[in-house]
Each structure stands twice: as structure tokens, then as C-alpha cells.
Amino acid sequence: MSAPLLELDAVSRRFSRRISLGDRIAAKLGATVEMREVRAVESVSLSVMKGETLGLVGESGCGKSTLGRIAAGILAPSAGTARLDGKPVMSETGRREKLTTRVQTVFQDPFASLNPRKRIGEAIAEGPLAHGLIDRAGSRAYVAEQLSRVGLDPSYSSRFPHQFSGGQRQRIAIARALAMKPDLLICDEPVASLDVSIQAQVLNLFLDLRRALNLTAIFISHDLGVVRHLSDRVAIMYLGRIVEIGPASEIYAAPKHPYTQALLASVPRLNRHREGRTAFKPIAGELPSPLSPPPGCHFHPRCGFATERCRSEPPQLRPLGPERWAACHLAE
Amino acid sequence: MRRDASPFIRFWIEFAENRLALAALGVVILVVGAAILAPLFTPQDPYDIGKLVLGDARRPPGHVGSGGYVHLLGTDAQGRDLWSAILYGLRISIQIGITAGAVAFIVGGSLGTIAAFAGGRTEALIMRFIDLQLSFPAILLALVISAILGQGKWQLTIALVASQYAYFARTAHGAAVAERAKEYIEAALSTPLSSRVVVFRHILPNCMPPLIVVATVQIANAISLEATLSFLGLGLPVTHPSLGTLISNGFQYMLSGRYWISIYPGIALIVLILAVNLVGDQIRDQLNPRLQR
């Protein structure tokens, strides 16, 4: 763990409504046209060290998948850059194209992420063939190797995706990503759409592969338990910003940001120490619309400790201990 | 049914369950086969003007002509044996229909898919042009183009392609927009694979089902459009009659009782188009996810 493998430098991503021709003419004529813009990710800086697994946690709509897609070179950031080993992941100008094969992604829904008309052997071999990692003669053996590594029978390579279960498909998707020999693997909620019993299998496979291949990974999930199990460090996101980041064990033991505290308190768990039932503590209020985020600290309308300062001044991430950062005016 | 049988085999097994469609497919194969092998089944080459005898003109079915053979379906105004002329005419009609359909498929399918993938201005430009074209009747455009290019097989094919590619493009565009948004395209782009590979290896194959349906309909349309243009005198010359030309030639004799010159080519045309459409209907039903069992 020396140099960071992936660096996100103040990346932002805004999604704007397509402006219609009528509105554009109206704007030219001096009318005020409402520009609705979603700030999915707002000036996030982050680095991932070689060999480390970073967990990215947040409610739905907080921008964690968008941040993952920026890191993976699928979405170009509106501002800022994502760099892998110092080199940008996507071209900066013109048609924003991905420049590297060293970041690969495992997607959430294995029913959507595999081309239904491609035999899985072709799907796995396609990328490595296109980038010259293997040649046609060696592709059969290579596919067999990839399949057996994720615990699938190599003879399945001539089957179509519809012949597999969700867990098997996710294994295929992992094999496809790893066949590109990536240094960094982005896992975008890879188990969220699987049955709980299958989730464990896929997660264990992921742990084994990470150890065997010395992978660096970003693991995106809304499931705090899953992330705790897998991650070295955890970053908590709220409405496009990172509110807290630190080593997994410390975040879970002593969360500093009120949002993290509320999030951890809301996790349903079987309580063996206390008698009787304990109620879940959902976070008060609802996630504000990212179209018009509240001023100051985005969390203040739902925060029990909010002060006047929280309502006006957005807090910056500041160090609170070795490797621990939180974006809260009150945290110590 | 083997589970790992290729989609094509499974498709075929399901297709064969519909007896009517199977019979229609049989008719199509029979007609196409007879048209291709026409010289083997016909007593006369209707395009060889030297062999035509005017004394045999407008003879009813069953007449034994100067060639010493029976004119099964009679003869036309130039003394052509109608049975021979119909098979040769089918040959031209099918050839033009399939060529035009295939070229329109490739041009329109690629154009629509590329438009959907490119998005933005490119997409707007291509699709609005196609909408503009679709707002005219296809026959009008085909008429104008064949009037400009003149008579002949290739001129006619070009006119048909120009008026039909738009249907393929619009269908491909609709399907491709839906496929473009799916995660496997994102996965392919994030590998990364080149745009060309993503468009032609990932998006286009997944747009095939609706395109194949349009193709069967459009091949039948191309054949009838060809007949229409020939009937109107803009298709093939009288010396090289296609089905439309034959019907047109016999039209003036209809009311004088010499029905056979128009009727028999007409029946051949109807049977072919009906059979192609029945096959197309079954393919459409099979590919429609809402009707899938």
C-alpha cells in the first residue's frame, strides 16, 4: 500500500434535462428558462490504494453508482478527472472514450449485463481477443480457465445466458471482467439482485479471487453488512458528496458523522443481548430531491444536531484522526 | 427439445407447429424453386423473340401451337406461352424482390442502428429525413425514381431500395434505442470494445427479430410494388415481361373474353405474396414476446 492506484480528483457529474428548441429560443429572447440539473456527484476526491478494497455506501440516489461509473470509465465526469496510475481513465476532449482496459466492472443485474445472443464463451473471449491479450487459437483454453476460476464447468462455454441462474450469471459476469486482467475491479451492487443464499456464495467467490489475484476493488452497495465484510476502507455518500471515509472497523465501531450514525442505527439486526424487541430506527425525513438539494450541509433537514451554521455553510471533509475524514461541522 | 440447442433450431421447431405457416413455407419454396429452375419446366424461352410465332398469339389454354406442344395456360398477345412466361416472370419478380429487400435490410438496418447509437444531431438528422420520406407513399417515390432512371431490372431494384429502406431504418432505430439502454451495451463499452463492434456485434443482432418480420413483409411488398410499376409501364419492358408486365399486357383483352392473359399471372402473384405473408405472420407471432408461451 504505497501509491494510490486510482485517484478521483474533484470529480463532479451533472445530469441536465435536455433543453428543447422552444426553450432555447425563449432563452435567446430573454425569457428565464428553468435549468433543471441533477448534481449526481459533487466534487468528490478519493484515492484507492493498490490491493485495497474500498466500500462505497449510501441510500439509493446518492450518486454512488454514478461515482463508480466515473471510476470505471463508463461515464465521463462533468468536471475533474479520474486517473489510474496517474493516467486519465477517459479521454478529456472530443468523444469521451475509455482509454484503459485495466478497470473492469461487474454490474448489478446479471440478467441485463450479458448479451442474450452471445454464447458465454464468446462473451468472455471477446474483450481479450479485441485487445490482443489472447489469440484465437488460445481462446478456448483461456475461456475454460476463466470459467473454472469462478467455479463453473468449462463445458458450459457454448451455452447461452438464458440457460443459467442468477448466481451463475453473476459468476459469468465476474469471469468476463477478470478475463481482461484488470488491476481495479468496480463492483456495482453485484449481489443486490440475487437471493440471499446465493449472495453469500458470490461474495465468498469475490473474497477468494481478490486474495488470489491481489485485486484492488471498489465495492458499491447499500448493504452495510456486506460492505463491512469485504472492505478495508469505507466511504459513506449522501446526495452526491462523501460525508465520511475511514477504515471499515473504525467507521462501524465509532461513526463520526450523524448520517453514518443514523445509517448504522437503522440496520435491522437480531439482538441477542437484550430481551424483548428492539424497534428499527429509520432516519427521520426523506432523501431531499437532488434537483434542489438543501443549502449548507445536505443532511441538515434530517439531522438532530443541526445548527445555524449547518443550514448555511457546506462542511468540508476534514481529518479527524489517522485516515479518518468526515464532513460535519460538529464532529470531533 | 435440447436446452442448449441454438436459438435457430428452437425457432424452427416452434415454427413447424403451425401447419398453415408450414404449408405456406412449402408453397414459397416450391414457387421459388420452380422459378429458379424455370428452363427445365417450360417448353419455350419467352424472352427469345425469334422463337415467338405471332400466329400463336392470344390462344386459349389447351391450344396446341405451331411448336407442337400444348399451351397449358394459353398464349399472350405476342404468342408467348403463358406458363413459360409466368415462371420466367416469377423469376424476375423474386429476384428483384429479394435483392431489393436484402439491400434495403442492410442499408436501413445499419442506418437505424447507427442513428440510435450515435444519438444527438446525427440521430435527429437521419431519423427526421426518414420520417420525411415515410410521409410520402412508397409507390410515389418509386414512380419518380424509376421514371428518372428508366426501365430495367437494376433501375427498378434501386427504386425499390430507395423507397423501402426507410421502413427497415425506423424499425431498427426503435429496437436499437431500447437495446442501447441495456446494461450489456454498457458492459461492452466499458471493456472497452470499439463502437463498430458494439453496433454490429451487440446491438444489431439483438434488433434482428423485428427486422426479420419487416423483411418478410417488405419482400412481399417489393414484389407487388415491382408488379405495380411494371403494370404502369415503368418497370420492365414488354420484351422482358415480369408478372406485372404480363398482367398489364393482358388487361386490354380482359373484356373481350381472353381472360387468361391477365388472370393466370395474377393468380401466380397472389399465391406468392399470400404465402410470403403467411410465413411472415408466423415469424412475427413467434418473435412477439407478448404472444410467447
- Check residue B231 and give its pLDDT: 86
SS (H, E, C) chain A: CCCEEEEEEEEEEEEECCCCHHHHHHHHCCCCCCCCEEEEEEEEEEEEECCCEEEEECCCCCCHHHHHHHHHCCCCCCEEEEEECCEECECCCCCCCECCCCEEEECCCCCCCCCCCCCHHHHHHHHHHHCCCCCHHHHHHHHHHHHHHCCCCHHHHHCCHHHCCHHHHHHHHHHHHHCCCCCEEEEECCCCCCCHHHHHHHHHHHHHHHHHHCCEEEEEECCHHHHHHHCCEEEEEECCEEEEEEEHHHHHHCCCCHHHHHHHHCCCCCCCCCCCCCCCCCCCCCCCCCCCCCCCCCCHHHCCCCCHHHHHCCCCCEEEECCEEECCCCCC
Question: How large is the average pLDDT for residues A47-68?
Answer: 92
pLDDT tens string B18-32: 999 999 999 999 999
Is the preceding omega at residue B289 within 30 degrees of 0, hence cis?
A: no
Residue with cell 419467352: B46
Give the mean pLDDT of chain A.
88
Mutate to test the interface with B, among A115, A158, A188 (most CBs of B within 10 A): A115
DSSP B163-195: HHHHHHHHHHHHHHHHHHTSHHHHHHHTTT--H
DSSP 3-state of B71: strand
Cβ separation of B191 and A126 shorter than 8 Å? yes
Check the CA dihedral A141-A147-A148-A150 and report its sign: positive
- Check residue B4 and give its pLDDT: 57
Residue B15 Cα, gap to closest chain A Cα (Å): 19
Query: Which domains does chain A show, CATH number per domain?
Result: 6-102+182-326 (3.40.50.300), 103-181 (no CATH)
- Check residue B293 and give its pLDDT: 46
**Is B243 within 8 Å of B89 (Cβ atoms)?**
yes
- Check residue A50 and give its pLDDT: 92
Torsion of CA B257, B258, B261, B262, to 10 degrees: -10
**Measured between alpha carbons, how far is B61 from B72 in angstroms, rounded to an integer?**
5
Cβ separation of A116 and B192 shorter than 8 Å? no
What band does A22 get if pLDDT is binned at 50, 70 and 90? confident
- A19/B contact by beta carbon, under 8 A: no
**Measured between alpha carbons, how far is B119 from B123 in angstroms, rounded to an integer?**
5
pLDDT tens string A177-203: 999 999 999 999 998 888 888 999 999
Which residue type occupies B45?
D
Measured between beta carbons, which residues in chain B are less than 8 angstroms from residue A66?
A: none
**Is B93 within 8 Å of B242 (Cβ atoms)?**
yes
Give the mean pLDDT of chain B.
87
Q: What is the ipTM of this complex?
A: 0.85
Query: Count of A–B CB contacts within 8 Å?
Result: 60
Q: Would you put residue A321 in left (φ > 0), alpha (ψ -120 to 50) or beta?
A: left
- Would you say the pTM of this structure is higher than 0.95? no
pLDDT tens string B22-81: 999 999 999 999 999 988 888 888 888 777 777 777 788 877 877 778 888 888 878 788
- Pick the more confident residue, A110 or B67: A110
Q: ∠B178-B181-B183 over CA atoms, to 5°? A: 125
Cβ separation of A163 and B3 shorter than 8 Å? yes
Question: How large is the average pLDDT for residues B231-256?
Answer: 83
Residue A300 Cα, gap to closest chain B Cα (Å): 35
- Check residue A271 and give its pLDDT: 58
- pLDDT above 70 for A101: yes
Q: Which of B7, B190, B201 sits opposite A72 (nearest CB)?
A: B190
pLDDT tens string A214-270: 899 999 998 888 898 899 999 999 999 999 999 999 999 999 999 999 888 877 766
- A130/B contact by beta carbon, under 8 A: yes
Other beta carbons less than 10 A from residue A133's beta carbon: 16
Residue with cell 435567446: A28
Q: ∠B283-B288-B293 over CA atoms, to 5°? A: 100
Measured between beta carbons, which residues in chain A are less than 8 angstroms from residue B187?
A: 105, 107, 113-114, 173, 176
**Is B214 within 8 Å of B281 (Cβ atoms)?**
no
pLDDT tens string B128-179: 999 999 998 888 999 999 889 988 889 999 999 999 999 999 999 999 999 9
- Check residue A1 and give its pLDDT: 46
